[in-house]
Amino acid sequence: MSGHTPPRLRLGVNIDHVATIRNARGGEHPDPVRAAQIVAAVGGDGITAHLREDRRHIRDEDIARIQAATNLPLNFEMAATEEMVEIALRHRPHAACIVPERREERTTEGGLDAAGQHNRLAPVIARLNDAGIRVSLFIAPEPRQIEAAIRLGAPVVELHTGEYAHAAGEQVTVELKRLTDMAALAAKNGIEPHAGHGLTYDNVQPVAAIPHLAELNIGHFLIGEAVFVGLESAVRRMRELMDAAR
């Protein structure tokens, strides 16, 4: 082994789906702000929220409320649109994770094509960087996407773990190797690698064991599990599994 000491793996909790449940009835309950406070109380390292074009979960007014509710850094997931850049510049979250967004998709199904969209992304990243917002690109674990992130000057990439989460049999090992290799390639080039999407108690540990990863962002499973055991217990259990894997 290289003797590389892995950084402490941070856990960012995506609270979007608390807002999804709230929005199902159009009222105020359950409030994602309360979820953020519980995540903070239980030792989570960050809050992630995705303001979608259709506002299907987090809404505009939630952003400032979530920021005010805790001292945790907000990782603001956003499409690379003028509307979202303006919102990010207004709220100045700790980080902005640029994700692809298709209106009909149920969730963020694939990674951002950073390689194919250089000219569209470059000014967006520059404006966010200039405002002191830490830019992250949500990309597939592929060399060409990491190379594009390097050219674009992104300080962070978040590797999409969806393919890994959906893999079966021998494909699991293949996907895990892609994540491991791409985390190493990013780190070697001075980019901090994060990972997320589709992670659960059952599949988180091999990802948490990848030495260069600095952060995992986990949402849907934790909020679903919280229905049964409470958010506090769900986050605690995920944290324990992550720690045990390192």
Binding site for ligand PXP (CB under 6 A): 14, 50, 77, 97, 99, 107-108, 138, 158, 196-199, 217-221
Q: How far is the CB of 162 from ligand PXP (least distance, A)?
A: 7
Q: Which one, 220 or 237, has the nearer CB to ligand PXP?
A: 220
Q: Which one, 5 or 233, has the nearer CB to ligand PXP?
A: 233
Q: Which one, 97 or 140, has the nearer CB to ligand PXP?
A: 97
Which residues are within 8 A (CB) of 80 and not within 5 positions of it... i.e. 6 or more apart?
Answer: 98, 112, 117, 120, 121, 124
Q: Which active-site residues does the annotation give? A: 50, 77, 197
> Which contacts of 235-238 are long-range, i.e. CB under 8 A and separated by 24 or more positions?
235/11, 235/13, 235/38, 235/39, 235/42, 235/43, 235/44, 236/42, 236/43, 237/201, 238/11, 238/201, 238/204
Q: How far is the CB of 223 from ligand PXP (least distance, A)?
A: 8
Q: How far is the CB of 101 from ligand PXP (least distance, A)?
A: 9
Cis peptide before 32 (omega within 30 of 0): no
DSSP state of 89: H
Q: Which one, 22 or 50, has the nearer CB to ligand PXP?
A: 50
* DSSP string of 23-42, one letter each residue: HHHTSS-S-HHHHHHHHHHT
Q: How far is the CB of 7 from ligand PXP (least distance, A)?
A: 19
